[in-house]
Amino acid sequence: MGAGGRMSVPPSPKKSEFNSLKRVPYSKPPFTLSEIKKAIPPHCFQRSVLRSFSYLLYDFILASLFYYVATNYFHNLPQPLSYVAWPLYWAMQGWILTGVWVIAHECGHHAFSDYQWLDDTVGLILHSSLLVPYFSWKYSHRRHHSNTGSLERDEVFVPKKKSGLRWWAKHFNNPPGRFLSITIQLTLGWPLYLAFNVAGRPYDRFACHYDPYGPIFSDRERLQIYISDAGVLAVAYALYRLVLAKGVGWVISVYGVPLLVVNAFLVMITYLQHTHPSLPHYDSSEWDWMRGALSTVDRDYGILNKVFHNITDTHVAHHLFSTMPHYHAMAATKAIKPILGEYYQFDGMPVYKAIWREAKECLYVEPDEGDKDKGVFWFRNKL
């Protein structure tokens, strides 16, 4: 961010918001990836099987506790209290399962352990349990990390140019339209992306994360896409058996609604990491990996930062060193801030305000008028 990101004392909310809207530099950085890495304590790159599993075990204990309380005690509550208890369960279980999702994400980056087979086994089990095709997402997400900020090759939340906006965009550029767009994005955005590549990179033919022969994947990856599909189908069948045994209402209340919370936070976290008025995007004439990796922003989710294993407030470091385990990311972020300077971006605006602002301000990207660097694009909102 601006000066606020390099202060040891958190700035006031007003100053933080002002600095966070200052454009980050888009010129070639005066530092190299090697110099950034040297600033990080060496232990931050060490992965521990025991420590990684300890976070997973902690999440499982909390999720099991919430499940036990909900299924054994909620039915005894008087009706007014049950109307409060179930939403609390949905929110808290959804938060914890978002943390489980993040650990599966670590596995996809080979950040869980030193053993690829272990990372893939754990990641496949965890993501399948949340109806995510593990290998499919792993490969498309890897390409996102390889092409962040590129208008042609990035994989997800690729902003449109003004000329690429659909005819209905102007009809949604108002408070009711933004509310509807955000609601659809948070509830349906994740399954629509997996199934139909909505908000993803354009391909020359239909792209789907469940299609082993789709354009997203290479020939050597296709077998693992079948494995991902099998994992999701196995969990879907288990849910079907649960519906027969417990009923649709029970499955929706215990599993379905928390999963919707997971999906909503996943979309919101990713959207806010890569959508911000201060961040540039690049076409092929200007893009390079370093500037693309720096075109991300750290956010503050309060206590949920810890629940989400700090994927929210250490995303810049994660894009620079994606195999670094999450439990070292805070130390790494602190270490790289002095090196990155104004290339580091943090926005402390409450996320419920931030998602509304970004939906209002970040409709499409265009270069600055008269700017000789026509390959550098910034968010606009004037239709």
Collect contacts of 316-321 with beta carbons under 8 A, ≥24 apart.
316/340, 316/344, 316/345, 319/145, 319/148, 319/293, 319/294, 320/33, 320/36, 320/293, 320/294, 321/37, 321/40, 321/45
Compare 80 and 246 and report the one with higher pLDDT: 246
Distance in angstroms (rounded) separating the CA atoms of residues 225 and 140: 11
Residue 370's pLDDT is what?
74
Extract the runs of DSSP E, i.e. beta strands, from the chain: 281-282, 298-299, 346-347, 364-366, 376-380
The per-residue pLDDT for 19 is 59
Q: For the chain, what are the domain ranges?
A: 31-378
Q: Confidence class of residue 18 from pLDDT cuts 50, 70 and 90?
A: very low
Q: What percent of the chain has pLDDT over 70?
A: 94
Query: Using one digit for the tens of pLDDT, what is the confidence trace for 74-117?
Result: 999 998 898 999 999 999 999 999 999 999 999 999 999 999 99
User: With bands split at pLDDT 50, 70 and 90, how would you rate the model's confidence at 373?
Assistant: low
What is d(CA 361, CA 365) in angstroms, rounded to the nearest whole number?
Answer: 10
pLDDT digits 0-9 by tens, 288-345: 999 999 999 999 999 999 999 999 999 999 999 999 999 999 999 999 999 999 999 9
The pLDDT of residue 36: 98
| Pair 360, 178: CB distance under 8 Å | yes
* pLDDT in the model for residue 244: 98
Mean pLDDT to the nearest integer, 135-139: 98
Which residues have C-beta within 8 Å of that of residue 315, sequence separation ≥ 6? 273, 296, 297, 298, 299
